[in-house]
């Protein structure tokens, strides 16, 4: 018999969901005492707390919080937890406004509840994660793994498990299937399948070895271990690679946007909930900038230019004009460079601080851009780079953004070399593949700090 881990013996996800509900009630109670200095909650407060507890657990279920954290990074998981609280309270606010019940509840109480809930949830889950990693480093709560396959990927996985014992995986058997060692591997596999203490079998093979994969699965047909396939994509650039069902056939997505279905809805809600208040708050600043642009040089206040949006469709992007009105050769666009004499004094300040991008919040409200996403390049640049940079046009799988992962990592401004553009595209594709609401929030928070420290913007 295979030795059972603690997670095998007990329904961890169910237990954690009960603890989460208790945390919702505890944080609400503490916030109520902080606000009113007593513990006697009115009935309508109790009802709201129960509703929030149920919504929070459902949001956690859909976000995957109750899945295994084994092998995951704690910071990313805790950001997900905080994000679940944000989404839950967003739902609560909508419900209270629709039912016209928002005046019945103290805003101070709700704010204190929201903050204390995040703090308590992240603290107890962080401590639990830390305790588990300590146990795994000492050899407890470890899943035994058998590796089957060939190539560099298998070696990297084995090395990773040895270097990071806190992940909780230990490779106890390694069957190397290099081209000269295919014969006789069936006996090794059969022995692996019969080993009761193997929890998981990881198969590492290139996609071209489909027939070999079928043989391996056949030899493991009696094994009760979890079997995972780690395809080697070392020579293929991927954007997204989740498995999907198409007309009853299994498909592995290689170049598909993760922002479809419910994710597309969440992304649009994020743009509305953040875009509208930001647009209103910055409207007075925009009026002052418009006056400064008009006074600084003759010409229109707003510069309009066609760019490629999601799916490659053209749309007009809006910016405060930062250059003097000038003509450029049809089909050829010269990027702004350091000490460019076309840039006005006001324009230099606007470009340095990215204030020239403020009108693009209107593009966001139109639904043609997002607050966070790959920056839209000029049409001429797209035509030039699409054949020079691999997967360049995959940037258009999602809506372009006012700020992005490349920009907060110092890749703003002129891309005078091919290497700089390749680097920017790499960051853009990483963002698309790893997109989440929490990543968007991180980029938004980082943006103001990066603007004033970036020397590449001019």
280 inside domain: yes
Q: Please write the tens of the pLDDT for every residue from 181-211.
A: 555 677 777 776 666 678 888 888 887 777 8
Residue 328 has, within 13 A of its CA and on its CB side, a CA count of 11
Residues 147 and 120 in one domain: no
Q: Is residue 247 part of a domain?
A: no
Does residue 123 form part of some domain? yes
- Looking at the domain assignment, is residue 285 inside a domain? yes
Q: Is the Cβ–Cβ distance between 23 and 85 less than 8 Å?
A: no
> Are the C-beta atoms of 169 and 161 separated by less than 8 Å?
yes
- Enclosing H/E stretch for 246: strand 243-246
Q: What pLDDT does residue 1 have?
A: 44
Same structural domain, 187 and 133: no
Tokens 């407060």 belong to residue: 45
Q: Please tell me whether residues 130 and 147 are part of one structural domain.
A: no
Task: Select from 236, 271, 298 the last residue of a domain.
Answer: 236
| Residue 408, C-beta contacts closer than 8 angstroms, at least 6 positions apart | 443, 446, 447, 450
Q: Is residue 106 part of a domain?
A: yes
- The tally of domains found in the chain comes to 3
Question: Is 242 within a domain?
Answer: no
Question: 323, 294 in Cβ contact below 8 A?
Answer: no
52 falls in which pLDDT band (50, 70, 90)? very high
Q: How far apart are CA 458 and CA 447, in angstroms?
A: 16
Tell me: do 294 and 162 sit in the same domain: no
In a domain, 246, yes or no: no
Residue 5 has pLDDT above 50, yes or no: no
pLDDT tens-digit series, residues 374-426: 999 888 888 888 888 877 888 888 899 999 999 998 887 667 788 888 899 99
Same domain, 278 and 310: yes
Residues 399, 266 within the same domain: yes
For residue 126, what are the CA distances in angstroms to 15, 21, 81, 122?
16, 17, 10, 6
Q: Are residues 279 and 362 in the same domain?
A: yes
Same-domain pairing of 268 and 407: yes
Residue 233 has pLDDT above 90, yes or no: no
Of 112, 137, 162, which residue constitutes the final position of a domain?
A: 137
Range of the domain at 51: 6-137
Q: At what angle do helices 74-98 and 43-63 cross, to 10 degrees?
A: 140
Residue 206 forms beta bridges with which residues?
232
What pairing do the DSSP bridges indicate for beta strands 302-308 and 314-320?
Answer: antiparallel
Which among 118, 137, 156 is the end of a domain? 137
What is residue 50's predicted lDDT score, i.e. its pLDDT?
A: 95
276 and 319 assigned to the same domain:
yes
Asked if residues 172 and 145 have their Cβ atoms less than 8 Å apart, the reply is yes
Question: Are 404 and 375 within 8 A, CB to CB?
Answer: yes
Q: What CATH number is attached to the domain comprising 220?
A: 3.40.50.11060
Pair (123, 153) in one structural domain: no
In this predicted model, what pLDDT tens digit does every residue of 242-288 receive, in sequence order? 676 665 666 767 666 667 666 788 888 888 888 888 888 889 999 99
Judge whether residue 9 has pLDDT over 50: no
Calculate mean pLDDT across residues 450-457: 64
Copy the structure tokens of residue 409: 């990592």
CA 388 – CA 392 distance, rounded (Å) = 8
Looking at every residue in the chain, the average pLDDT score rounds to 82
Identify whether residues 109 and 157 lie together within a single domain: no
The answer to whether the pTM exceeds 0.75 is: no
User: Is position 353 within any domain?
Assistant: yes
Examine the domain organization and report whether 349 and 409 are in the same domain: yes
Spatial separation of the C-alpha atoms in residues 208 and 18, rounded to whole Å: 46
- What's the start-to-end Cα distance of the chain, in Å? 66
């Amino acid at each position: 018999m295979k030795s059972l881990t603690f997670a095998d013996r007990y329904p961890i996800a169910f237990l954690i969901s009960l603890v989460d509900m208790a945390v919702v009630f505890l944080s609400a109670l503490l916030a109520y005492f902080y606000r009113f200095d007593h513990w006697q909650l009115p009935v309508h407060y109790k009802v709201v707390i129960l509703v929030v507890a149920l919504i929070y657990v459902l949001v956690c279920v859909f976000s995957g919080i109750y899945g295994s954290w084994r092998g995951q990074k704690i910071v990313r998981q805790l950001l997900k937890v905080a994000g679940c609280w944000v989404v839950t309270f967003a739902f609560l606010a909508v419900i209270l406004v629709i039912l016209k019940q928002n005046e019945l509840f103290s805003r101070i109480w709700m704010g204190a509840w929201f903050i204390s809930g995040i703090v308590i949830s992240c603290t107890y889950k962080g401590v639990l994660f830390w305790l588990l990693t300590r146990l795994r480093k000492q050899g407890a709560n470890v899943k035994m793994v058998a590796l089957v396959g060939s190539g560099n990927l298998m070696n990297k996985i084995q090395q990773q498990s040895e270097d990071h014992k806190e992940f909780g995986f230990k490779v106890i058997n390694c069957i190397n299937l290099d081209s000269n060692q295919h014969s006789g591997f069936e006996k090794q596999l059969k022995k692996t399948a019969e080993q009761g203490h193997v929890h998981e079998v990881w198969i590492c093979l290139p996609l071209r070895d489909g027939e070999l994969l079928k043989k391996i699965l056949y030899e493991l047909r009696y094994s009760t271990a979890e079997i995972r396939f780690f395809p080697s994509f070392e020579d293929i650039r991927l954007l997204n690679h989740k498995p999907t069902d198409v007309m009853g056939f299994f498909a592995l997505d290689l170049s598909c946007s993760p922002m479809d279905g419910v994710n597309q809805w969440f992304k649009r809600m994020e743009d509305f909930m953040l875009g509208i208040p930001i647009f209103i708050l910055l409207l007075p600043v925009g009026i002052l900038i418009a006056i400064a642009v008009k006074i600084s040089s003759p010409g229109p206040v707003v510069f309009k230019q066609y760019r490629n949006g999601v799916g490659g469709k053209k749309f007009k992007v809006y910016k405060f004009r930062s250059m003097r009105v000038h003509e450029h050769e049809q089909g050829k666009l010269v990027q702004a460079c350091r000490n460019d004499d076309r840039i006005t004094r006001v324009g230099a300040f606007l470009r340095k601080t990215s204030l020239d991008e403020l009108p693009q919040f209107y593009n966001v409200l139109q639904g043609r851009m997002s607050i966070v996403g790959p920056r839209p390049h000029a049409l001429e640049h797209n035509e030039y780079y699409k054949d020079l940079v691999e997967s360049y046009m995959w940037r258009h799988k999602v809506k372009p953004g006012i700020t992005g992962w490349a920009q907060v990592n110092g890749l703003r401004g002129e891309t005078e070399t091919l290497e700089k553009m390749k680097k920017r595209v790499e960051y853009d594709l990483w963002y698309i593949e790893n997109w989440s609401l929490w990543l968007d929030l991180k980029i938004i928070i980082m943006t103001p700090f990066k603007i004033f420290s970036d020397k590449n913007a001019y």
